Structure 1
Amino acid sequence: MRDFLRNRRSRLTPDDVGLITAGRRRTPGLRREEVATLAGVGVSWYTWLEQGRDINASAEVLDAIGGALRLTEPERAHLYVLAGLNPPLEGGAKGVEVPQQLRDLLDSWLPRPAILRDRYWNLLMVNDTAQAVFGLGDDDHNCLISFFTNARYRSMHTHWASAAPDVVAAFRADVARAPGDPEFGRVIDDLSAVSPEFAELWARHEVGLPAQSVKAVRHPEAGELLFDMTTLAVVDRPGWYLEFYNPQPGSETGHRLGLLVVRNPG
């Protein structure tokens, strides 16, 4: 904490933050009292924080200090970690623009299914095969909500009932990483209001960590499909995840998937 704040403070000049100074300055960058003034905190308190003393810093105060020091988003997240707090999370999927490189990546996985989602399990992009194979439509915006409310998806999921507890447990593990996050709360409240099954499973408080897994689908045209699913984090987009589905070796999935794509091009 001490070294990080000193370094960030030394790289700024009074002109950078709109301060007017007179005379020669012996200290490179901003002074501690200037940072404290810009952040609206006491000079002694900021000094203790920079010295790494055991004091409590709220998210609001850290945001103010981050603004005063002109921290970037990664630097701001690092400040939270140094202070022992969870880094701030970005909002949900509304208005999110998916970079063309990621769009091209999902399309390059065709004819195999691929999905891009965020930490709240909001669907950011679904390639054409994923839509056809998993029964996802234009009204599907969240993986968890669709899992419980999309009748077509449920009917196609071979082991829906046995998979449901694991799905909810995995979602709870994600929620636990961001206590009090309102977007997670919105998903939980909205789904609980329309799905008694989800509400019952959520009340169990089971927690599980998803790993590489198998997804089984009974498609009305292609029949039984088995996929190995691998989830990858998008490093330059914290909270975004790519789900790639590969036909399970030894199954007829690859052949059946090819026939499905031929019958339903584009």
Structure 2
Amino acid sequence: MPAAEATRSHRRDELREFLMSRRARVSPEEAGLPAGGGRRRTPGLRREEVAVLAGVGASWYQWLEQGREISVSPQVLDAVARVLRLSDAERRHLYLLAGMNPPAPQVAPGKRDMCDGLRRLIDTWMPYPAHIMDLYYNCVVYNDAAAIVLGMRPGITQNCLLDFFTDPLYRERSHSWERNARTVVAQFRAACAARPEDEGFREVLARARAASEEFAALWAERDIEDQGQVRKELSHPLAGLLVVESTVLKVPARPDLMIVLHAPLDEANTAEKLEWLASPEGRRGAMYPVAG
């Protein structure tokens, strides 16, 4: 069997088993149906009941659950997901098994309180800089090292894209600014492209174009790049040259947030300098107060 056909066959098998398992866990009462007095041979909902509740034909749903090659639409899959009470992760999984591009991840209500845990994560990253951004590059929180080394502080826009182009302190400290500017813009274009109708991205884009001719010129080049690791060379007024590598991490349970961790590279004694800057002696000489 060719590899492509084997993949489709596996996906159809997974689709069948997934739908059967999700159907079995939903009781008629949970779906708004009368319980009835007779004994049910099928645990959970019957195929016909799912079809009626989702507003699709019984034969069509049976073919879907059998993994047949049928035409599906996002509206129909969403209706099935609603009836089967799928979580956001399960809904996206259903799309993938049905051979469709999944919708953008959403934050589950029970995961909205993760910020305290993520704050503990970046505080544990000390003495190395770390911060958390939302989808639009707005800075949600940063640790003390990010304040000391990167100059994150009250009084700037608190948007990492805008501050990269408009904060004179960061511009003065960054030896790699011109090289990294192209990467920053290309990565922001990739984020925008993933959500073309999102007004939040349009607002940040308009602000960046108005605030920086350099940004506008780089944006017009239409480069695009995925998030990854970026080498940064910084000159700190107390510690001198610092060479770090930033890595963007995403948490599936909080798709609206990105964690940016900076790790010291084996150059210019960066690790030792960062440890000193975070020490009481180094903090006393810092130009700006630490975050928090």
Query: Partner of 1:80 in structure 2?
Result: 95
- 1:15 Cα deviation from its structure 2 partner: 1.0
Quote the offset at 1:178 in angstroms. 4.5
CA contact (8 A) 2:236 2:242 kept: yes
Q: TM-score, normalised by structure 2?
A: 0.76
> What's the counterpart of residue 162 of structure 2?
145
- By relative contact order (CA 8 Å, sep 6+), the higher-ranking structure is 2
Specify the alignment match of 1:214 in structure 2: 231
Tell me the secondary structure at the aligned position of residue 244 of structure 1.
strand
Corresponding position of 1:248: 265
Aligned to 1:261: 283
User: What is the CA deviation profile of residues 100-142 of structure 1, one whole-angstrom value per residue up to 9, with x for unaligned ones?
Assistant: 3322221122222112234443323210110222122234433
Matches within 5 A, 1:1-266: 1-24=15-38, 25-52=40-67, 53-58=69-74, 60-83=75-98, 84-90=100-106, 97-138=113-154, 139-238=156-255, 240-257=257-274, 258-259=276-277, 260-264=282-286, 266=290
Unaligned stretches of 5+ in structure 2?
A: 1-14
Instruction: Give a deviation string over 1:45-96, Cα, whole Å, max 9, x none.
Output: 43443333331312x44333222111122212212222311332337xxxx6
User: Structure 1, residues 228-252: CA drift from partner, whole Å, max 9, x if none?
Assistant: 2233333543454332223332314
* Inter-CA distance 79–187: structure 2 relative to 1 (3 Å threshold): farther
**Structure 1 partner of 2:4:** none
- Partner of 1:224, secondary structure, is strand
Q: Which has the larger radius of gyration?
A: 2
Distance in 1 (alpha carbons) for counterparts of 2:78 and 2:138? 26
- Superposition TM-score, scaled by structure 1 size: 0.82
Distance 1:118 1:157, change over 3 A: same
SS of 1:15's equivalent in the other structure is coil
Separation in 2 of the partners of 1:48 and 1:185?
Answer: 41
Amino acid at match of 1:68: V
CA distance in 2, matches of 1:189, 1:42: 47
In the aligned structure 2, how far is the partner of 1:252 from the partner of 1:107? 22
Looking at structure 2, the residues matched to 181 and 154 of structure 1 have their Cα atoms a distance apart, in angstroms, of 29
Tell me which moved more, 174-183 or 49-58.
174-183
Residues in 2 aligned to 1:186 and 1:111: alpha-carbon distance in whole angstroms? 34
Task: Look up the equivalent residue of 1:12 and give its one-letter code.
Answer: V
Q: Which moved more, 1:232-241 or 1:206-215?
A: 232-241
The answer as to whether partners of 1:154 and 1:160 remain within 8 angstroms in 2 is yes
Alignment-mate amino acid for residue 13 of structure 1:
S
Give aligned pairs, total.
Answer: 261
Look up the SS of the partner of 2:254 in the other structure. coil
Q: SS at 1:90's partner residue?
A: coil
Structure 1: 5+ residue stretches without partners: none
- For 1:117, what is the secondary structure of its paired residue? strand
